[in-house]
Amino acid sequence: MSRFQKLQHQTRDVIHRGFDRHIRLAVTGLSGAGKTALITGILEQLLYANETQQLPYFKVRQQQRLNGCRLHTSSNWQVSRFDYEGSIDCLTGETSKWPQSTRDVSEIRVEIKYQPRRGLARRVLDTRRLTLDLIDYPGEWLLDLPLLQLSYDQWSRQQQRLLKAELRHKLASAWLDQVEATAKVASEEKAEQQLRDLAVGYRCFLRQCRERKLLILQPGRMVLPGELEGAPALEFFPWPLSEKIPEAWAKRLQEKYRYYQQSVIAPFYQKYFKHFNRQLVLVDVLQALQNGEHHFAELQLAINELMKSFSYGNNSLLKRLLSPVIDKVALVATKADNIAPQDHQKLTQLLQLMTQKQRQELQFDQIPHQVFSVAGIATSQIKKLNDGTKVLDGVNEHREFVRVGAPDVPERIPSSTDWQRGYVYPKFQPDFNLQDSPLPHIRLDQLLEYVLGDKLK
């Protein structure tokens, strides 16, 4: 290669880098919301985009401007790679199953190569690249973020209100008795051991709450400790009684709480949440409906508390240089394959009502946002019987074919009468093989267009 040709290549590389775009997309949601399935589904659709007709609303594909997508090495070598291949193996293996839920922070990078159709880039380049980083977080850890804004006393009062609910109070009864009995013999000499024992009891209570599908579990590391398993940082709990905290305990509990805020939550927030600029907030509305009124109210509270923790604002160049913030949000009701297509709009409307207050805040701050109902991996098929009845066909947890009547979704937040009637939704299992790729989805093309479309013009 001549010196002139080398210079041409170098110049082209510099120009390409100058026009390259980058999105860090955080996939957030509480435990069980379907984050792993959704990320896997997004990767499936991108990697196979030019091999399928499943993306009618993804404009770069429909306009035949998409050269292709490929997985790329992430720039963050300290974070585990999202196991896309392992997820596909689970979904398409000899015995298909759902991938394991999120247990730690993970990340994966996709490079999207396309032909620009607007602006200076179209005149200078034949192709352009968008780098997409998808970041996944354990739902249990996300709910610690609101604690950064609360003192120990404020958090304790919040937890006291939650403990008044019938189900929580019943689950906490043994621990509350333990706190009351131990408080009577509180002493400076035995304080560390006494608080350690009560923290163990509180952790057992939180795990019982998790088994009963309750969502507000703080501190989240007590449920999913990760590297903090057995660490003194977790030897605290909210004060649950109306009586004053014994003097021998008060200072220690407040110190442990502040340490958890400053040394566990704050670094986690700084490391993972200050550097993404777009966000998906995943919500399993159907599971909350099925679990009943208390669970539904707790999900609504948890989602709104979670959204308060993120920094929203216009992603101007100045703000990006100083402190990147989120400039586009998608609120996503997941598992839409468990209901009939005619009820998808009801599911969307219900999530709109659940997040009304926080959406008003987004609107006030002029943050683009939209609500979707999707299935990252669709496991059912809608059928219409001869009598006009609509049913869903799928496979249950026993690997048996099942046909169920398409269940109803309320158009508004249910009333007391509605809750008495109850809601039941099927839980279909994956039943795929490798030849099925790209795996079926519901409305991921619309979600991709909303999140990425403005960067692919």
Residues 31 and 72 in one domain: yes
**Percentage of residues of the chain with pLDDT beyond 70:** 91
If asked whether residues 163 and 265 sit together in one domain, one would say: yes
- Average pLDDT value for the chain: 89
- What is the distance between the alpha carbons of residues 173 and 262, in angstroms, rounded to a whole number? 31
What is the rounded CA–CA span in Å between residue 198 and residue 71? 47
Query: Which secondary-structure segment (H or E) carries 420?
Result: helix 416-421
The rounded percent of the chain whose pLDDT value lies above 90 is 70
pLDDT in tens, the chain (457 residues): 555 444 444 444 434 444 578 999 999 999 889 999 999 999 999 999 999 889 999 999 999 999 999 999 887 788 899 999 999 999 999 889 999 888 889 999 999 999 998 655 555 568 999 999 999 988 889 889 999 999 999 999 999 999 998 889 999 999 999 999 999 999 999 999 999 999 999 999 999 999 998 999 999 999 999 889 999 999 999 999 999 999 999 999 999 999 999 999 999 888 887 778 899 999 999 999 999 999 999 999 999 888 888 867 665 444 544 465 788 999 999 999 999 999 999 999 999 999 999 999 888 888 899 999 999 999 999 998 888 888 999 999 889 999 998 788 998 999 989 999 899 999 999 999 988 989 999 999 999 999 999 999 9
Residue 312: phi, psi to the nearest 5? -100, 150
Q: Could you tell me the two tokens for 129?
A: 């690249």
Are 187 and 333 in the same domain?
no
Task: Point out which residues pair with 135 in neighbouring strands.
Answer: 26, 107
Do 232 and 282 fall into the same domain? no
Could you tell me if residue 408 is inside a domain? no
User: Would you list the DSSP string of 325-376?
Assistant: -B-EEEEEE--GGGS-GGGHHHHHHHHHHHTHHHHHHHHHTT--EEEEE-BS
pTM: 0.89
Q: From CA 443, how far away is CA 447, in angstroms rounded? A: 7
> Which residue type sits at 374?
V
Contact 231, 173 (CB under 8 A): no
Per-residue pLDDT at 326 = 84
Is residue 212 one of the residues assigned to a domain?
yes
Asked whether residue 263 falls in the same domain as residue 290, the answer is no
C-alpha angle with apex 30: 391 to 219, nearest 5 degrees? 150
| Residue 431, CA atoms < 13 Å, CB-side half-sphere | 16
Q: Is 349 in the same domain as 242? A: no
Interval 37-77: pLDDT, tens: 999 999 999 999 999 889 999 999 999 999 999 999 887 78
Q: Does a structural domain hold residue 290?
A: yes
Which of 248, 270, 292 represents a domain boundary (last residue)? 270
pLDDT (0 to 100) of residue 261: 96
Residues 324 and 225 in one domain: no
In a domain, 407, yes or no: no
Closest by CA to 31, choosing from 250, 378, 289, 306, is 306
What range does the domain containing 176 cover? 153-270
Residue 180 and residue 34 in one domain: no
Question: What type of residue sits at position 59?
Answer: K
Question: What is the model's pLDDT at position 7?
Answer: 45
What does DSSP assign to residue 272?
A: H
For 70, residues 6+ apart whose C-beta sits below 8 A from its C-beta are 47, 110, 111
- Do 91 and 20 share a domain, yes or no? yes
The DSSP output letter for 101 is P
Whichever domain contains 304, its CATH number is 3.40.50.300
Q: Are residues 321 and 369 in the same domain?
A: yes
Residues 23, 131 contacting (CB under 8 angstroms): yes
User: Considering the domain boundaries, does residue 393 fall inside one?
Assistant: no
Same domain, 299 and 437: yes
Task: Determine contact, residues 13/61, Cβ cutoff 8 Å.
Answer: no
Whether the CB-CB separation of 156 and 124 falls below 8 Å is answered with: no
CA atoms of 418 and 411, how far apart (whole Å) = 11
Is 385 a domain residue?
no
Q: What is the pLDDT of residue 121?
A: 53
> pLDDT tens digit string along 130-167?
999 999 988 889 889 999 999 999 999 999 999 998 88
207 and 242 inside one domain: yes
Q: What's the domain count of the chain?
A: 2
Element (H, E) at 281: strand 278-283
Q: Is 335 exposed, middle or buried (0-12, 13-18, 19+ CB in 10 A)?
A: buried
Residue from 178, 208, 184 nearest 196 by CA: 178
Q: What is the pLDDT of residue 12?
A: 46
The dihedrals phi and psi of 177, each to the nearest 5 degrees, come to -65, -40
Q: Which ranges of 48-115 would DSSP assign to H, the alpha helix?
A: 59-62, 84-92
Domain assignment present for 33 = yes
pLDDT of residue 393: 95
Tokens representing 452 are 């990425």
Total number of residues shown for the chain: 457
Q: 408, 347, 455, 379: which is closest to 92 by C-alpha?
A: 379
Among residues 270, 286, 308, the one where a domain terminates is 270
User: What's the pLDDT at 314?
Assistant: 60
pLDDT of residue 19: 57
CA distances to 13, 99, 222, 396, 413 from 428, in Å:
48, 14, 31, 5, 25
Instruction: Answer whether residue 417 is part of any domain.
Output: no
Q: Where a domain ends, among 214, 247, 270?
A: 270
